[in-house]
Structure 1
Amino acid sequence: MTAESFAPSYTATNKASSCLYSSSIDPLEQTKKQLQKMSSASEFDQDEEILYKKLIMKPASALKEELKSLRLQTKGRKPDLARRLVEYYMENNQIDDDEEEEEVMDMQVVTPEWNEGDDENIQPLRKFAKLPISKTAGYALAKANFLTPTPIQESALPLLSKDKESLILHAETGSGKTLTYLLPITERLWREDESEDIEGGYALILTPTRELAAQVAGIASVLAPPGSVRLVSNPTNLVRDNYEDRERSEGDFGGRFDNVVGGRKGTKIIVGSAKSIMLSLFGSSKLIPPTSKPEAKKFMADVSYLVLDEVDRLLNIKTGRGKTSKYYKKHDKPAAILTSTIAKFTLGQAQIVAASATVGRPLRRELARVLGLAPDECPRVVRATGSVEGTSTRPITTPGSLTHYAVPCDGSTSGSLLTTAAFVAKALPKIDGRGRKILFVVTKACGIQLKDAIGALKHFNVKPEPKALLDVLEADGTDRLMENHRRVTGAAGLGERSANVAFDEKDGYLLVTGEDTVRGIHLDQLDTVVVVGRPTTPDEYIHIAGRAGRAGAAGSVVNIIQYEKANALASWEGQLGISFIPMDESEIGSIQ
């Protein structure tokens, strides 16, 4: 959303003309001042945009309270609420001078050393979250229009960068957690590249799926020095400096190790699924570890920064009490084994960063156990407001810009459930004359195979043609996984539109995936999520629904649910802080 899309209710010209008739102010002097303001109209628009971006990151409830205190209309979606506040504050000139000065200071720019193909009209940021950043990061953020930090970035970046503190990042989906944990790593590498002082150490980023790993690696490759990022999608030797043995999945973005642990050049950021990394270092009963034992030990001892993205999926979290618990302490997940080993080999000196939209006490207890710490010594939780665990009672939920619908149906068989889901997907209306961008999520509880879901959608001639998300991401094979992810998501690492978008903008897209693979995946301008069946837990619903409504964008979540499970879904309303709007199949055309 840009400043042009919400013009103020009056213009600088109107202000100038009205001031000519003021009896208490010299008309000539006042006209001169107004003309000066008119000459810097672009700066005025920038103030609007900065204020809007800051407001849109607040919870919808906070925006409504602010509007209520100003006696303004509180109805509407989150973007409308933020726009209403922008108009009010700009019209009444109620921007705090100190805050405005601080924003302008953060937006100061420098002339970069332009590379071939760079857009000379884009000026890189010099600071982000009040921290100096490299020209590469400044240019990437400016190009992606990430001009101001989100609340979680503003809260956590100083702690991660200056204090090098281990943290748990707890913020809603689409709030910028990935950029929050990546910037301190990539900026450290740039400092090493420009200085004789070597801080050394590797950054290891673990994700639950290789698709999410490809997404994270794509963002890291935009921010980091060339050749310093390596995507590991299959077990491979992590430290051997041999291009012939280098895994095919690295493609054009893969780096290499220089065999000098802690050196400035070569691969320093390793991103992969926890399973692939563990098999690379430890092997299994059927696989000899590609990385020799001495090399593996040295590698883990030199990990200085460990990230657990979607940490609640990476660790075994106790979800019940006594005999009903689904927690099996005997069988640690790969991420738990890697984390405990790295903590042991680094003597607890590695900086640990865990991130998720769903963080609770069971997770903190499990993370503390894995790190070999007492429960009260677990890394503290930082939320978007800067609060830590124990000082805030507001739970993280789905983005406030989402609207949630429930379509009860006869789901006595998988066929009847799929039939209803297909008709709902087919009946969804276009948005502003273009096809919808839909993510069709099949939950585990409904027991439907993805191929059957795609077959049913094709049988009922649902358009655009349904495709499996993972098939699209890996269309050319795993050796170009990172490039494919950028192409499919329409994002070259940081959210800016790619020149090679995989889908026709007019037709939209319909991608089908399962509950297990949806975590963390970003799809460009996704506006609708269709959920077939009830997700496993309310936390899982947060992650599924949160694929849409990212960064304040409007979106819809349509739940196709069996009659007998409709009440169970509705029981989550209080816990999630949302309302499910009941809807009949015949009413689908009214969904915005």
Structure 2
Amino acid sequence: MNAKPPDPGLSRTGRPQRATAPQGEPSAFQTVVPGLPPAGSFDALGLPPELMRTMIGLGVKEPFPIQAATLPNALAGRDVLGRARTGSGKTLAFGLALLVRTAGLRAESKRPLALVLVPTRELAQQVGEALAPYAQVLDVRLATVVGGLSINRQSALLRAGTDVVIATPGRLADLVSRRDCHLDRVRITVLDEADQMCDLGFLPQVSEILDGVRPDGQRLLFSATLDRDVDQLVRRYLHDPVLASVDRGADSVTTMEHHVLNIHAADKYAVATEIAARDGRVLMFLDTRAGVDQFTRHLRASGVQAAALHSGKSQPQRSHTLARFKDGEVTVLVATNVAARGIHIDALDLVVNVDPPADAKDYLHRGGRTARAGESGNVVTLVTPDQRRDVNRMMSDAGIRPAVTQVRSGEEKLTAITGAKRPPAGARSSGGNAPFRGLGTRPGRPAKESRKTAEARRTAEARAAARVRKGR
């Protein structure tokens, strides 16, 4: 890859000086830029007056730490590597710089000037919504291109001319292969949540996209964690990046309270149902799409306003469900890990892992849906006896020391921790775990049928068939 020319005035050699990275950082993340102090306010950044007026009108007055640490360098055109906990304001950290540096330019048909890559459809739409008012006042044209929506409509937007494209890697790769989008004019590229893109297997597509943009362009990489394949991206595509790490590893969840509730397997869904019936919204994670759908049906039958969110839903369905949850029309969102990133819900104070996550990273990102922007929140994980060892290891890897409590459904201490209560009176429900009989400890996984039960079922079926034949 061709190196970008050095920015003047940084040192006598024209390059930023090197500093020792914080202990535990990969070696690629060692570059810092001296002489550029973090901004104490947006006023100090020299942003356009019309942009400042819009920010004030939207209540954006003081920068979050990640914004203060990265905006001066991003506005100056430097490559930036930013790490901060989820919900800390990364979108404006890269978005304001991208829009200001694109304002006044005009993209040709099919040739955008700036690109934001994100791992999920929800995050793409959230980024687009967050940047839209600022793009409008700066007369910058935005387009969001994601799977699950009409590719022909997205192609039409690109043909009409789009300055900034916000995209998921798969859909953008499809548009490029169709020659509906050309990346050779992209001068600013943002990778948001790069670690998740790598975890989801998008590294080859991301690399191919980065190979197609201008080699001398600016690169901004933001993520809650920076590890493994992200290091490969940094080494290959970022030139002397400015590292801004406002919190590290386990520090990403310091504003949360963490609870492990040890429960009996037979009591799991009764406990989960009572938590779902609490006053106020709650986001509940299960492992499988089948489990999400089944538990959602059970909650609705119990009188709880619940909705399901997973990758098996169409994008319009997912968007509608999120809108209802944000508006309070739905109080319980039951989801797979598709909701673990890219979803911002104001004043969401409880996340429940009905099924414990597979690893520490998933735990941190699920929990990151609460305690956003400095607010407090609670993360509760339901743990059956056979899961305790794995959960203990996961918590240790995440740097979390949770409060551990043995609970049963209906107990006061369950209510004290989560606000749990009985489902609405008179609702159609069998109580306890009745809707989940025949399932393993995780919904959607059938237990094996015993030989005696199978023989009885076959006998009953044969007798029923004989009665039908006799009545003909």
Q: Considering the TM-score relative to the shorter chain, is it more than 0.5?
A: yes
Q: Residue by residue, what CA displacement relative to the aligned partner does 1:511-564 show, whole Å, maximum 9, x if unpaired?
A: 111113321210121111111222121111111001000111121111112212
The letter for the 2-side match of 1:381 is: L
Q: CA deviation at 1:247?
A: 3.7
Q: Which residue of 2 aligns with 1:309?
A: 192
Q: Which residue of 2 aligns with 1:458?
A: 300
Q: Which residue of 1 aligns with 2:465?
A: none
Q: Which residue of 1 aligns with 2:416?
A: 590
Q: Which residue of 2 aligns with 1:143?
A: 57
Classify 1:236/1:303 alpha carbon distance in 2 versus 1 (closer, same or farther; 3 Å).
farther
Q: Does structure 2 retain, via aligned residues, the 8 Å contact 1:206–1:308?
A: yes
Q: Secondary structure at the match of 2:243?
A: strand
The letter for the 2-side match of 1:466 is: A
> Hey, what's the Cα distance between the residues in 2 that align with 1:300 and 1:517?
30
The letter for the 2-side match of 1:131 is: L
Q: Secondary structure at the match of 2:265?
A: coil
Q: Which residue of 2 aligns with 1:246?
A: 153
Verify: 1:523 aligned to 2:348, yes or no: no
Q: Which residue of 2 aligns with 1:81?
A: none
Q: Secondary structure at the match of 2:252?
A: coil
Q: CA deviation at 1:180?
A: 0.5
Q: Which residue of 2 aligns with 1:580?
A: 402
> Hey, what's the Cα distance between the residues in 2 that align with 1:133 and 1:469?
38
Classify 1:405/1:351 alpha carbon distance in 2 versus 1 (closer, same or farther; 3 Å).
same
Q: CA deviation at 1:227?
A: 6.3
Q: Which residue of 1 aligns with 2:286?
A: 442
> Hey, what's the Cα distance between the residues in 1 that align with 2:199 and 2:389?
29
Classify 1:378/1:564 alpha carbon distance in 2 versus 1 (closer, same or farther; 3 Å).
farther
Q: CA deviation at 1:224?
A: 0.6
The letter for the 2-side match of 1:554 is: S
Aligned residue among 176, 188, 196 for 1:281: 176
Q: Which residue of 2 aligns with 1:468?
A: 308
Aligned residue among 98, 105, 110 for 1:185: 98
Aligned residue among 215, 223, 226 for 1:359: 226
Verify: 1:222 aligned to 2:133, yes or no: yes
Q: Does structure 1 retain, via aligned residues, the 8 Å contact 2:261–2:381?
A: yes
Q: CA deviation at 1:186?
A: 1.1
Q: Does structure 2 retain, via aligned residues, the 8 Å contact 1:488–1:523?
A: no
Verify: 1:269 aligned to 2:180, yes or no: no
Aligned residue among 76, 79, 89 for 1:166: 79
> Hey, what's the Cα distance between the residues in 1 that align with 2:322 and 2:390?
38
> Hey, what's the Cα distance between the residues in 2 that align with 1:146 and 1:555?
22
Unaligned runs of 5+ in 1: 1-98, 107-126, 194-199, 239-244, 259-265, 283-288, 318-332, 386-393, 429-434, 491-501
Unaligned runs of 5+ in 2: 1-36, 419-472
Q: Residue by residue, what CA displacement relative to the aligned partner does 1:189-214 show, whole Å, maximum 9, x if unpaired?
A: 33548xxxxxx961111111111111
Q: Does structure 1 retain, via aligned residues, the 8 Å contact 2:309–2:321?
A: no
Verify: 1:205 aligned to 2:119, yes or no: no
Q: CA deviation at 1:341?
A: 4.2
Q: Secondary structure at the match of 1:154?
A: helix
Q: CA deviation at 1:403?
A: 0.9
Q: Residue by residue, what CA displacement relative to the aligned partner does 1:250-303 show, whole Å, maximum 9, x if unpaired?
A: 9xxxx6555xxxxxxx42111122111111112xxxxxx2x35xxx4xx21111
Q: Residue by residue, what CA displacement relative to the aligned partner does 1:445-465 show, whole Å, maximum 9, x if unpaired?
A: xx8532112123234x153x1
> Hey, what's the Cα distance between the residues in 1 that align with 2:207 and 2:402?
39
Verify: 1:343 aligned to 2:211, yes or no: yes
Greater relative contact order structure (CA < 8 Å, 6+ sep)? 2
Q: CA deviation at 1:382?
A: 1.7
Q: Does structure 2 retain, via aligned residues, the 8 Å contact 1:235–1:277?
A: no
Q: CA deviation at 1:566?
A: 2.1
Q: Secondary structure at the match of 1:397?
A: helix
Q: Secondary structure at the match of 1:224?
A: helix
Classify 1:524/1:486 alpha carbon distance in 2 versus 1 (closer, same or farther; 3 Å).
same
Q: Which residue of 2 aligns with 1:402?
A: 256
Q: CA deviation at 1:181?
A: 0.8
Q: Residue by residue, what CA displacement relative to the aligned partner does 1:330-373 show, whole Å, maximum 9, x if unpaired?
A: xxx44533434433552x2122222211112x1343314664x8
> Hey, what's the Cα distance between the residues in 2 that align with 1:488 and 1:220?
22
> Hey, what's the Cα distance between the residues in 2 that align with 1:581 and 1:237?
47
Classify 1:191/1:276 alpha carbon distance in 2 versus 1 (closer, same or farther; 3 Å).
same
Q: CA deviation at 1:439?
A: 0.8
> Hey, what's the Cα distance between the residues in 2 that align with 1:370 and 1:535?
32
Classify 1:315/1:475 alpha carbon distance in 2 versus 1 (closer, same or farther; 3 Å).
closer
> Hey, what's the Cα distance between the residues in 2 that align with 1:457 and 1:514?
16
> Hey, what's the Cα distance between the residues in 1 that align with 2:403 and 2:124?
35
Q: Does structure 1 retain, via aligned residues, the 8 Å contact 2:308–2:321?
A: no
Q: Does structure 2 retain, via aligned residues, the 8 Å contact 1:210–1:273?
A: yes
The root-mean-square deviation of aligned C-alpha atoms, in Å, is 3.4
Q: Secondary structure at the match of 2:81?
A: strand
Aligned residue among 248, 259, 271 for 1:420: 271
Q: Does structure 2 retain, via aligned residues, the 8 Å contact 1:442–1:448?
A: no
Q: Which residue of 2 aligns with 1:93?
A: none
> Hey, what's the Cα distance between the residues in 2 that align with 1:228 and 1:553?
33
The letter for the 1-side match of 2:71 is: L
> Hey, what's the Cα distance between the residues in 1 that align with 2:324 and 2:67?
26
Q: Does structure 2 retain, via aligned residues, the 8 Å contact 1:152–1:180?
A: yes
Q: Which residue of 2 aligns with 1:18?
A: none
Classify 1:311/1:475 alpha carbon distance in 2 versus 1 (closer, same or farther; 3 Å).
closer
Classify 1:212/1:570 alpha carbon distance in 2 versus 1 (closer, same or farther; 3 Å).
same
Q: Secondary structure at the match of 1:349?
A: coil
> Hey, what's the Cα distance between the residues in 2 that align with 1:208 and 1:369?
20
Q: Secondary structure at the match of 1:579?
A: coil
> Hey, what's the Cα distance between the residues in 1 that align with 2:189 and 2:205?
13
> Hey, what's the Cα distance between the residues in 1 that align with 2:361 and 2:171?
26
Q: Does structure 1 retain, via aligned residues, the 8 Å contact 2:307–2:321?
A: no
> Hey, what's the Cα distance between the residues in 2 that align with 1:489 and 1:131?
36
The letter for the 1-side match of 2:99 is: T
The letter for the 2-side match of 1:420 is: V
Q: Secondary structure at the match of 2:253?
A: coil
Classify 1:566/1:237 alpha carbon distance in 2 versus 1 (closer, same or farther; 3 Å).
closer
Identity of aligned pairs, percent?
Answer: 22
> Hey, what's the Cα distance between the residues in 2 that align with 1:527 and 1:515?
18
> Hey, what's the Cα distance between the residues in 2 that align with 1:488 and 1:216?
19
Q: Secondary structure at the match of 1:407?
A: strand
Aligned residue among 365, 377, 380 for 1:555: 377
How many positions carry a matched residue from both structures?
371
Q: Secondary structure at the match of 2:249?
A: coil
Classify 1:406/1:132 alpha carbon distance in 2 versus 1 (closer, same or farther; 3 Å).
same
Classify 1:343/1:336 alpha carbon distance in 2 versus 1 (closer, same or farther; 3 Å).
same
